[in-house]
Amino acid sequence: MKQKSLTPNAMLQQADEETLVLLVMDALRRIVAHHGFWFAETEHQLGLEKALEIEGDVWQASLANQMQRLGKLLGFEVENGVPTALKKLPRETLAELVEKIAVNWLANDGIWFQAVENKYGMFDAKRCNDTCWTRFSPYEATRIKKLLELPANGGLPALKQALAFRLYAVINEQSIEEVDDHSFIFRMNNCRVQAARKRKGLPDYPCKSAGMVEYPCFAATIDPRIKTECLGCPPDDHPPEWFCAWKFTLEE
């Protein structure tokens, strides 16, 4: 039987426009997923600290590579891996863009949670959620640390700066109360998720198990000398002026 050989772009030549549009979006999705799979396996094989370091190098090189290629095709200029048009946006538009992306991040998190909960129940959804925070919290702290060029052991001043640059900080209301030279209290005064539940007449989502991973991991990534204490987090009772509160102490 005579075999038919396919050229590398045979499918692209045969596909209609609608299929190609869908393929463009799905190909971008595969890049994101593949990046995540690589990170997960690198962490499994080499540990989280090394995986975070490698991911930083990979993203910088990969993003520059991808943007240059797409810029050349679509006709937009790229400078140091960033589309020049993005750098030319006014400050107000950039701030709004960061906010919308932060909302998208939170919505994506909620969609994942509900998808697992709807199929397998609350217990498995919380289990997946809490484990996810063991990865995302140190990852976010590492990215902020790099972005702000925070020192390796920056102490409480570095942590305060980092908390202000979390995605949560863009869409939630939070505050800091100084306790003494070695500690401060962080409060989430208005949480977008909990506030939405409150408007619907629902009880607080019991997020303490996630918080007990999220906040200690974040603080320790900024400075391993910082210890985290939960002062209250749902399902704990809390006053109306905050949903959760955490005390951070520098132990030397």
d(CA 64, CA 188): 36
Domain-wise residue ranges, the chain: 14-88, 90-252
Sole residue written with tokens 């909960």 = 117
Give the pLDDT of residue 196. 93
Across 43-65, average pLDDT: 95
Tell me: the pLDDT tens digits for 164-204? Answer: 999 999 999 999 999 999 999 999 999 999 999 999 999 99
CA atoms within 13 A on the CB side of 92: 0
Give CA–CA dist 3/228, Å, rounded. 65
Please measure the distance between the N-terminal and C-terminal CA atoms of the chain and give it in whole angstroms.
76
Q: State mean pLDDT over 209-228.
A: 97
- Whether the pLDDT of residue 5 is over 80: the answer is no
- Spacing of C-alpha 26 from chain mean position: 21
Q: What percent of the chain has pLDDT over 70?
A: 97
Tell me what the mean pLDDT of segment 219-230 comes to: 98
Is residue 235 reached through a cis peptide bond, with omega within 30 degrees of 0 on the bond before it? yes
Buried b (16+ CB within 10 A) or exposed e, 170-207: bbbebeeeeeeeebbbbbbebbbbbeeeeeeeeebbeb
In tens, the pLDDT along 8-43 reads 688 888 889 999 999 999 999 999 999 999 999 999
pLDDT at 56: 94
Given a contact cutoff of 8 angstroms between Cβ atoms, the answer to whether 177 and 199 are in contact is: no
Query: What's the pLDDT score for residue 64?
Result: 93
Say yes or no to pLDDT of 1 above 90: no
The pLDDT mean for the chain works out to 94
| pLDDT of 3 above 80 | no
Considering the domain delimited by 90-252, tell me its CATH architecture: 2-Layer Sandwich (3.30)
What is the residue-wise DSSP string for 166-199? SHHHHHSEEEEEEEETTEEEEEEEE-HHHHHHHH
Lowest mean per-residue pLDDT among 3-7, 132-136, 163-167: 3-7
Residue 7, SS3?
coil
Q: Tell me the two tokens of residue 13.
A: 């030549």
Q: What is the pTM of this model?
A: 0.91
Q: What is the pLDDT of residues 65-104, one digit of tens each?
A: 999 999 999 999 999 889 999 999 999 999 999 999 999 9
Backbone angles phi, psi at 2, to 5 degrees: -75, 125
